[in-house]
Every structure is written in C-alpha cells, then in structure tokens.
Amino acid sequence: MENLKFKRLRTIHIAYFLISLIICSLFSWILYLTGAQLIEKFYLKQSAVESRRLAYEDSFEDYVVDNNLSSMDYYKMSSWIKQNPDVYLFLIDEEGFVVYESGHWSETDPVYLDETVVEEVKGFDDEVLETTIAYPVRDIQFADGNFMLYVSESTEVFWYNLIKIGSIGFGILMFMFLQILFTNKIIRKVKRLSDEVTQIECGNINYPVTKEGCSELTQLAYHVDSMRFSLVDQMKREQEVVKTNYDLVSELSHDVRTPLTALIGYMEVLDEHPELSEEKKRDYISRSKDKTLQLKLITDKMFQYSFNFNEGFMDTNTQEYELMVLLPQLIYERVFDLQANDFEVTVNLEETDKVIRVDVQYLHRLFDNLFSNISRYALKEGVIITGLDRGENYVLEFENFKDIGKMNSKSTNIGLKTCANVMQQLGGNFEVHQTASKFIVTVSLLVEDEV
C-alpha cells in the first residue's frame, strides 16, 4: 500500500463535475444547433412561410368582414392581434401611407410601390441611399374603403425558444444523471465496504476486503484489511498462548497431585500406627515437611501463572518506607542465600533519602523471582547488583553470566512475566537485556522525596 498514490475524493469529484459540465454543455449546444437547422430547413422555407402568411391574411380578412370593421376600428383590430401575438401587420391607404400598425416597424417610414411595401434607407440630408423591396401586400375591403394589408409572422421564435429551453433542460438532466451515477458509485463502494466490515464483525475474520480505485475509500479499505490481518494474527497468537497455558496448567496440576498423594500417605501412616518409634515418626514428619514445602513451591508457581495469564492486579496494602531501609533488607537476605550456595555476589547500592510507597508483598514476589532465576540459570561467579538514584526512579540492575547448560533447558519464562506484571502494578518499568554470555535485568522503582 505504501507504493500507491491516493487521490482525494473531493479532487476526483471536482474533476468529474467539471468534465460533466463541459460534456453536458457541448451536447446541449449541439442539440440547439441541430434544432435551429431543422427550423431553418423546414419551418422557415419559403413555401412554409408563404403558406402561414396567407393563412393569417385570410384569418384577418374574415375577421374584418365578419365584424364589418372600418380602418379606424383600432381596438377591434388590436383584439385580433392579441389572439395572434406572433403576427405583425399594418394597413396602407391608396396614397401609400400607413393608417394602422400593430407594432414597431423601423426608424424609416415604409411606402407603397408596385403592390409591395418598401423601406427607404436614407442618409445625410434625407438622401435615399437604397431602396429594399420588403414584402407583398394584399387588398382588404373595409367598411370605409379599400386598404392594402401587410402581414408578417414570427412564430419561429416560439420554436427557437422551445429548442433553447429543451436543449438547456436536456443538458441539466444529463448533468444530474452523470452526478447521480458518480454518487451511486461512491455509495456502492461505501455499502460494499460496510457489508464487508459487518461480515468481519460477525466473526468471519477471513472475509476479504475489496480494494478498488485510488481514493480515500480505497485507502480506508486497505486500513480495514490491514486491521483484519492484525486480528487474524492476534487470534492465532492467542490460540497458541491458550494452548501453552493449558498444557502448563495440566503439568502443574499433575505435579501437585504427586507430593499431595505422598503427604496423605505419610499422614495415614502416622495416624494408623501410633506404635512407631520416635525416630520413625520424626522421619515421616520430616518427609511430610519436605512435601509441604514442595507443594508450596508448586502453588506459588501456579499463582504466578494465574497472575500472568489474567494480567490482573491483586489488592494492595500500600505503605510508605524509607528506600535505604527496605531495599537492603530485601536484597541482602536473598544475597545470603546465594552466597550460602557458593555464589559470588557484589552489591553496590547508591545512598538516597528517597521514600517508596508500595505493598511489600509485590517486592517480595519480584525479588523471589529475580533471585530464583539467578540461582537456576547463572554462573556462580560475577553476579553484580547495582542501585542508582535517577530522580523520580531508583534503578536496580541485576547482571550475571549465563550458565549455558542450564539456559538450554526448557523454560516458560513465567518468572520474568511475573516480574513484568508486578512492575506494571507498581507503576515502574522492567526490562531484560541479554547477550551471548550475559543476562541483565533492569528494574525502575517509582520513588518520592522524603517530606
């Protein structure tokens, strides 16, 4: 995923918006031009225009005859004009002057010449520059005489406007359609990703996540799939841990039954045979004591296992202690045990007036595990314990050389896990460093200045 370049969804949307706008505008313009050409080709051809003009002339002439209009009945003629708003007309008397006009003609006065209406285009000093023949006229009999009728219609404007509105409307609809397509595509991706996440949420952890495109949704799909792989790995590790812990509990349970059975046997012998000699009784009592000590070690180990597996915290009885009173006591009593077993131990604790707030049982468990590891896996030469005041922390460092033969034996490292959990409970830090020959444990205790 690192090699992929993701584009912002907003940038893609803007680009799609602009492209859609250009395409729709182009199609709208083409549609308008096509419609305009059709109007010019069919609706505005000479025969069609002439046919409509004659129809309007006939309609106006019938209206004049039916209503017995005179040339001065402007109001009634205007009524006909209102019924035919796309028609322009004017009446010309026998002398060639306009007596009625339904609309604005031009800045020059139209005149009658040879049964046609012409428009004189004049220049400076009213000089006639050119004379353009305009439109043919028709004689209409009014109540007060004969007049010439000129009719011009502009119904093509309606069709031009209709095509303009239609082409714009088509462009808008096409634009909306393209935007809906884009939105639906995004919605489908979101819905698909939502369905895939739902499948994972329901426990189908191996359900694949679709990754298409290069937007933020694709990036989100990669993140979801990465999270899915992490969950798969985590579940595998948890299954392995559960199996390991189950095997360990089974072994510890078997180890408990063995000395417990022997202890019960010794107690039964002492109870059922009171005639045994004092020496024999002491022997059985000594053996029973050994078995109880063995049981204690096993139950301590089981407690450590439970503490690590559940990562829980015990109830604490926190009290304040002077660090240089408590720490040497806890360390030296265990150092004496090591020295009694021929270990060479060097202790260097930096003096400090700091105090520590702690439940001592935690420190006992911490040091029991550390010194137990030293007695089991360290060479008897070169064990060094150092203490340094580091302000808010007092740092203890346990350094020893590895006994390679013992290190190769099978170990669950449950003691080190217990130490790590204890330090987590105390708010301190626990670190393990090792080389080919050395094993170093660093413990940081949280301390305070003495009030």
Task: Give per-residue pLDDT as tens, 222-264.
Answer: 777 777 778 778 888 888 878 777 766 765 665 676 677 777 8
Residue 122 has a pLDDT of: 43
Closest CA to 354 of 426, 427, 451, 448: 448
pLDDT band at 265 (very low <50, low <70, confident <90, very high): confident
Residue 238 has a pLDDT of: 83
Residue 153 has a pLDDT of: 86
Name the least confident of 16-20, 48-52, 130-134.
Answer: 130-134
Name the least confident of 85-99, 169-183, 410-424.
Answer: 410-424
Mean pLDDT computed over every residue of the chain: 80
Sequence spans of domains, the chain: 1-202, 217-310, 319-446
Domain 217-310 is in which class? mainly alpha
In b/e form, how buried is each residue of 319-354, taking b as 16+ CB within 10 angstroms?
eeeebbebbeebbeebbeebeeeebebeeebeebeb
Residue 422 has a pLDDT of: 80
For residue 177, give both structure tokens.
Answer: 């359609």
Residue 308 has a pLDDT of: 57
Block residue for tokens 């020295």 = 339
| pTM of the predicted model as reported, rounded to 2 decimal places | 0.44
Block residue for tokens 């439940």 = 359
Residue 130 has a pLDDT of: 47
Q: Does domain 319-446 have CATH number 3.40.50.300?
A: no
